[in-house]
Structure 1
Amino acid sequence: MEASGGRESPEPSGAAAASFAGRLPKPKLTPAQLDTQLQDAVRLKAEGNGFYRGKRVRSAIGSYHRALLVLRSLDSEVTAGIQGFGTEVPVLTPAQDELLRNTQVDCYNNLAACLLQKQSVDYARVQEYSLRVLRRRPGDPKALYRAGVATLELGDAHTAKQYLTQACSGQPKDANVKKYLLKAEEKLKSELQKEKAMYRGMFSSSSKAEESNQASVTSG
């Protein structure tokens, strides 16, 4: 349409409009909205705990993942990396931040427990979740135990023993911790015996080769 000396500027539409809208600053969450989202995450975690107690592991995993997704959108360690791209970074109070971190850690800890209940266990994921917990709670005995189990199953008996020894200090009467600590110690002992046997074999072969060389020199 013509408009007094020039063309009318076209309105953005379709993909262009969506792109333009994506660059607009998003409205800042109010303290009440932040509280609501945090409580949603806490509720989802509690829902997951209920599913886990009822042995509905798959449903529990889903609830914990949804809780973590809610928390991710509020996590300053995540959102700080996307400032300047139209995203308004939420500012949490110290109490809100503590609630967020504690809920995150609980969800990761519980996810690791759920994964260990599955018929086919993803030990790499169990280890990852347990180590995330330990970064926030270095002495958490359950996370130490699960990190130890996963690390042992992934083939690192030495590091597994370290985790399980610490877990045993926190849970000295836990039969499972003792069982896996014993497994780690037995694997380390077996590996040491194999290593010694390998060196004995190497030295034996070297000695025989040396004797053969000396016999050849003597006979010559």
Structure 2
Amino acid sequence: MEAVGGEGRPEVQGAAASPGSSGRGQSSVKPVWALLEEATQMKTEGNAFYREKNIRSAIGRYHRALLILRGLDSDVMSSVKGFGPEIPALTPEQQALMRSTQVDCYNNLAACLLQKKNADYARVHEYSLRVLQWQPGNVKALYRAGVATLEMGDAQTAKQYLTKACREQPNDTNVRKHLQKAEEKLNRELQKEKAMYRDMFSSGLTSSSAEGVTQTDS
């Protein structure tokens, strides 16, 4: 993990309460950089658990990192402004570190969920969309959003995500494989729809012909 802080680190511009550290009538306040370091450490531990295939522990670490960062994110906390501690103003460097850590954690959470036997594709899609709000061209998020929407039955939207991912990484075999699956599913749906309309048209012609015969005989 890259060291966050150390010599030459900019001065702390604000402080925030550490999640779960508040007591009755008082709260433990940590500097912004300390919270960023803590969140980064949680992410690093989550990565280690993921490599060990300890998915449950990895998910727990990523969630803890995001919880820490939640109190620093003005986009998240603006809806509760005035009901809690004042959100510290982050320097551009702090803001960039917070956002990159959030992106990594949401991407890694989506990866963890896809590893589970009964994957929660709706949650994978949700986490991937959060990343895409901040980084519309993030290939990992585009790919996982495509996989999730394909598994949820929306091949058209899946194709859009996967096509964008393929433009960014045309040689990625997983992206190309799932894009092909989406295109094949769309083609099957199109053929099924054409067959349905053919049957409806054929049924209509048969009905009209039968009515004509009946009228002639009478």
Q: TM-score range by the shorter chain?
A: 0.7 to 0.9
1:188 maps to which residue? Answer: 186
Per-residue deviation, 1:132: 0.8
Structure 1 residues 7-41: Cα deviation after superposition (integer angstroms, max 9, x where no partner):
xxxxxxxxxxx7xx59xxx79x6xx7111001100
Query: Normalized against structure 1, the TM-score is what?
Result: 0.84
Instruction: State the 1:86 CA deviation.
Output: 4.4
Give the root-mean-square deviation of aligned CA atoms: 1.7
Counterpart residue type for residue 115 of structure 1: L
Deviates more, 1:175-184 or 1:65-74: 175-184
Identity %: 62
Comparing both structures, which one devotes a greater share of its residues to helix?
1
Amino acid at match of 1:198: M
Pairing 1:100–2:98 present: yes
Q: 1:206 to 1:101 in 2, by over 3 A?
A: same
**Structure 1, gaps ≥5 residues long:** 1-17
Which structure has the larger Rg over C-alpha atoms?
A: 1
Any residues of structure 2 matched to 1:48-197 within 5 Å, and which? 48-197=46-195
Tell me, what secondary structure is at the counterpart of 2:205? helix
Q: Answer with 166-175 or 83-92: which moved more.
A: 83-92
Q: Aligned partner of 2:197: which letter?
A: Y
Please, which runs of 5 or more residues in structure 2 have no aligned partner?
1-23
CA deviation vs aligned residue, 1:40-65 (integer Å, no higher than 9, x gap): 00111111111112221111111100
Moved more, 165-174 or 83-92: 83-92
Distance 1:88 1:187 in 2: 50
Match of 1:46 in 2: 44
Instruction: Normalising by structure 2, report the TM-score.
Output: 0.84
Q: Which amino acid aligns with 2:110?
A: A
Tell me the secondary structure at the aligned position of residue 37 of structure 1: helix
> What amino acid is aligned across from residue 155 of structure 2 in structure 1?
A
2:203 is aligned with 1:205: yes
Aligned AA for 1:35?
Answer: W
